[in-house]
């Protein structure tokens, strides 16, 4: 039976999704929502509209939300589910804030709600995480979950500086004109919130995790790691035990024995450690029109098959624990006084480089408040 699909958004991902759907003989795109009126057609069809209510009142079976707008996206998804339409989305911002509500609404309406494209593009991490969780506890997950920051750090590892790496990433289409969410770690934070919620079966919130990006990194920080045969990666981490959950997003120096050492450029990678899957690793394209579109269409295929994602998600806050103390690298100006005693300190080119043991990101952020600094975990 032919299923009718409405696309909300027609940017890079929306265009790629439309191209993939054209090749399928059991679906038909009947409308495409855009923010302003266009006179042009798609394959000779007048599909464009600015009227979401028209889509809501249409016979579309599946609404694919790709607007990239937190508030509008949430409103569109909620209204569509209330009308009994299945929803597929790539919006990490909406899912990280409204997962429980939208999941529950979809179940009440007996329709699908899928968001595999919201985390790591083409990597099928959400489906596999749900499967592993059904078999037993997920104890640990860790990953490179942002292609922009990884591309930039790779470029800097190869000799570039921050501004040239950013410019290159923007020219290649990996970085937005405003890259803040990518380079400050907010994009990864949202993805980690979604994965952690699924791993623990409870509602994690974005504000429960300390996060720190890579926007202040300098070539000397990269060189510090390379001198020790380590690469710098922006990593998300979740550890679960009987007492609660620990999460963090932070730059991390990793050695050549780490599974992510060779994950360079715009690639993403996620590692799971569960009751029956020890160090299960997924690598692949985490961004870009085609990669994200493949995940969107995979979810559409779930809807077409009548499958349901079966997982428990309690409407309660988990016990969030402070990360266990680790060793960190901290670089500040030569004039800065962080009050850190008993630390290894190096002075170079007008900066001080600290090696601080038995601490965590939150404590270091407090100590460095008001200073221009760069912080990274060692190992």
**Torsions phi, psi of 82, nearest 5?**
-60, -30
Q: Please, which residues bridge with residue 267 across strands?
A: 285
User: What's the token pair of residue 244?
Assistant: 């609660």
**Burial (0-12, 13-18, 19+ Cβ within 10 Å), 208:** middle
Q: What is the separation of C-alpha 254 from the centre of its chain, rounded to a whole number of angstroms? A: 20
In this structure, what token pair is assigned to residue 310?
């079966």
* Active site (annotated) includes residue 362: no
H-assigned helices in the chain: 12-22, 52-56, 70-82, 92-109, 125-135, 147-157, 162-171, 180-183, 186-200, 219-226, 289-305, 361-367
Q: Using CA atoms, how far apart are residues 80 and 32, in angstroms rounded to an integer?
A: 15
Phi, psi of 375 (to 5 degrees): -125, 140
Instruction: Single out the catalytic residue among 103, 191, 231, 352.
Output: 191
Both structure tokens of 273: 């450690």
C-beta atoms surrounding 236 within 10 Å: 27
Asked whether 102 and 126 are in contact (CB, 8 A), the reply is no
Exposed / middle / buried, residue 158 (Cβ in 10 Å: 0-12, 13-18, 19+): exposed
Q: How far apart are CA 355 and CA 308, in angstroms?
A: 49
> Is residue 144 a contact partner of residue 188, using CB atoms and an 8 Å limit?
no
Active site residues: 191
């Amino acid at each position: 039976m032919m299923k009718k699909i409405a696309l909300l958004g027609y940017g890079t991902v929306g265009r790629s999704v439309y191209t993939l759907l054209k090749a399928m003989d059991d679906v038909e795109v009947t409308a495409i929502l855009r923010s302003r009126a266009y006179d042009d057609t798609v394959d000779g069809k007048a599909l464009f509209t600015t009227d979401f209510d028209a889509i809501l009142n249409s016979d579309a079976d599946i609404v694919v939300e790709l607007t990239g707008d937190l508030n509008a996206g949430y409103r569109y998804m909620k209204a569509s589910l209330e009308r009994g339409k299945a929803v597929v989305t790539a919006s990490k911002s909406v899912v990280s804030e409204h997962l429980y509500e939208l999941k529950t609404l979809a179940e009440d309406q007996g329709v699908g709600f899928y968001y595999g494209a919201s985390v790591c593009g083409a990597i099928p991490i959400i489906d596999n995480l749900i499967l592993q969780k059904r078999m037993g506890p997920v104890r640990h997950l860790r990953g490179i979950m942002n292609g922009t920051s990884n591309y930039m750090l790779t470029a800097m590892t190869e000799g570039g500086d921050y501004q040239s790496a950013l410019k290159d990433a923007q020219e290649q289409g990996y970085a937005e004109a405003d890259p803040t969410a990518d380079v400050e770690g907010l994009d990864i934070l949202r993805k980690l919130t979604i994965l952690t919620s699924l791993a623990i079966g409870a509602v994690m919130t974005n504000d429960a995790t300390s996060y720190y990006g890579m926007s202040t990194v300098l070539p000397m920080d990269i060189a510090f790691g390379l001198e020790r045969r380590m690469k710098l990666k922006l990593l998300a981490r979740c550890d679960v035990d009987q007492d609660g959950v620990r999460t963090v997003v932070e730059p991390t120096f990793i050695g050549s024995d780490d599974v992510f050492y060779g994950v360079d450029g715009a690639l993403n990678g996620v590692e799971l450690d569960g009751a029956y899957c020890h160090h299960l690793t997924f690598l692949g394209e985490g961004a870009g029109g085609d990669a994200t579109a493949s995940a969107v269409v995979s979810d559409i295929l779930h809807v077409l098959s009548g499958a349901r994602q079966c997982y428990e998600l309690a409407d309660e806050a988990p016990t969030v624990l402070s990360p266990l103390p680790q060793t960190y690298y901290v670089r500040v100006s030569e004039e800065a006084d962080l009050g850190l005693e008993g630390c290894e300190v190096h002075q170079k080119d007008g900066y001080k480089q600290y090696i601080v043991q038995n601490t965590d990101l939150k404590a270091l952020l407090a100590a460095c408040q008001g200073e221009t600094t760069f912080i990274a975990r060692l190992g």
